[in-house]
Structure 1
Amino acid sequence: MTTPVLEDIDADFARPDRNVIDRLAKLPAANIGDAMDRLGIADSAIQAIWPGARLAGPAFTVWTRPGDNQGIHRALQVARPGDVIVVSGGGDESRALLGELIGERAINLGLAGFALDGAARDAEALAEIGMPVFARAITPAGPYKNGPSRLGTPISFGGVPVLPGDVIIGDSDGVIVIPREQAANVADAAEAVFADETSRRAAIIAARH
């Protein structure tokens, strides 16, 4: 099978305004999920591999054979600063798709992080360098690098469809996918949910005293 050349990858897909992403990044994923009628929430098994990790950015999609990270290496050559590399890896937990070395490269490239429907490794080292990684599992076993892989295509991630440029938000509750064309409206709705919850929380606290 012939591996697609990088020249065939369209990295010029539309991305949401940075202001919209910044607004969403300030909100809990739970509030965003409520604003989206609880849709777009990835499988709960996909979680931050180190405490406090947060994701916010447009999706650069990778579809790869389970346990193989050729596609991630290719994505690092064309993804743009601020992107989140989102990998459809078949939910495989037997081989880590990335670790500290790829994390270091991603920091140098200004990437926002990784969301893997697969496994990762080097959790402590990734925490030390501050590279956000969300994954289905952690394992010391390394990946294959043979392919095949596809970049910049629609994928399924944790049971949720993801298109290039969709907004990926991750926090301590998990990962949520926001369709790009809905991002601004979702930000408005999620901010309203957050404001309402903040008001109700203040009223509950006040009632204690």
Structure 2
Amino acid sequence: MFIDAPTTSITVATRPETSLAAVPDFQKFPVANVGDALDRLNLMDTGIRTQWTGGVCVGPALTVLTREGDNLAIHRALDDAQPGDVLVINALGGTTRAVFGDLLAEVCLAVGIAGVIIDGLTRDRATIEALGLPLWSRGVSPAGPAKFGPGAVSTPIACGGVVVRPGDLVVADDDGVAVVPAERTDEILYRLQKIDQFEEQFRARVREASRSAIAQPAGR
């Protein structure tokens, strides 16, 4: 860790092996379509929202459970981060103290984190935007965190009303956050391709109808 603090209060599970193979394919689709392919399930509630416009991330979940207003477990989790991970944090929906800020953002970028999802608060939003780290949270507070624990790393958590397991595929954009169970990535990708095909055909019909209407001579 980049901080000097005891971590005996943090439970660290063995994380499953993860793959980035599906990431390029899922990067082609918006979260709205991913949600449709998931039967409108596994979408985090609207309180989990982007903290700067234009941030997008796709990657396997590195999960963290932490006490409200405490970020020791987040620091510990980043020791286990792999490039391309999405850091998903259950901070118990806390609305009094931030558990994430620009210094942790710097660490995230250094270890290759693709994005951060927090069921809780952040601070230093403008600096994090300037750094370019995609970030979703319930809001912002200048109040900083403690670093005492307890917490857990690489265990199943709840975030935004959705169960997230280590290694599940997280897809996030300006609309929100979707979670694809790791064992369903092939199935959901197939559904996404079908949805995209339907939408392209629908748009083509609409545009053709529009062109026909414009070309039709006005009645007298």
- TM (norm. structure 2) is 0.88
8 A contact 2:13–2:155 mirrored in 1:
no
User: Counterpart of 2:85?
Assistant: 83
User: Counterpart of 1:14?
Assistant: 17
Q: Write the distance in 1 (CA, Å) between the matches of 2:200 and 2:140.
A: 35
- Residue type of the alignment partner of 1:165: G
Q: Write the distance in 2 (CA, Å) between the matches of 1:181 and 1:45.
A: 27
1:139-195 Cα shifts (integer Å, max 9, x gaps): 211111111011111111111111100000101110011100001211111121122
Q: Which runs of 4+ in 1 moved over 6 A?
A: none
| 1:97 positional shift | 1.2
Equivalent position SS for 2:142: coil
Report whether the alignment pairs 1:3 with 2:5: no
Structure 1, unaligned stretches of length 5 or more? Answer: none
- Residue type of the alignment partner of 1:144: A
Q: Write the distance in 2 (CA, Å) between the matches of 1:116 and 1:55.
A: 14
Structure 2, unaligned stretches of length 5 or more? Answer: 1-6, 212-220
Equivalent position SS for 1:97: strand
Report whether the alignment pairs 1:185 with 2:187: yes
1:112-146 Cα shifts (integer Å, max 9, x gaps): 11110001111111111110111011121111111
Aligned residue pairs: how many?
A: 205
> What are the within-5 Å matches in structure 2 for residues 101-116 of structure 1?
101-116=103-118
8 A contact 2:125–2:140 mirrored in 1:
yes
* Two-structure CA RMSD over aligned residues (Å): 1.5
Q: Write the distance in 2 (CA, Å) between the matches of 1:113 and 1:55.
A: 6
Q: Aligned to 1:202, which of 201, 204, 207?
A: 204
| 1:19 positional shift | 2.7
Q: Write the distance in 1 (CA, Å) between the matches of 2:127 and 2:32.
A: 28
| 1:99 positional shift | 1.2
Q: Write the distance in 2 (CA, Å) between the matches of 1:199 and 1:14.
A: 38
Q: Aligned to 1:66, which of 61, 65, 68?
A: 68
- Residue type of the alignment partner of 2:17: A
- TM (norm. structure 1) is 0.93
- Residue type of the alignment partner of 1:172: D
| 1:205 positional shift | 2.5
| 1:2 positional shift | 4.9
Q: Write the distance in 2 (CA, Å) between the matches of 1:136 and 1:30.
A: 19
Q: Write the distance in 2 (CA, Å) between the matches of 1:76 and 1:188.
A: 32
Q: Write the distance in 2 (CA, Å) between the matches of 1:192 and 1:19.
A: 20
Q: Write the distance in 1 (CA, Å) between the matches of 2:33 and 2:52.
A: 22
- Residue type of the alignment partner of 2:170: I
1:92-115 Cα shifts (integer Å, max 9, x gaps): 121111111111111111111111
Q: Write the distance in 1 (CA, Å) between the matches of 2:207 and 2:17.
A: 44
Q: Write the distance in 2 (CA, Å) between the matches of 1:134 and 1:165.
A: 19
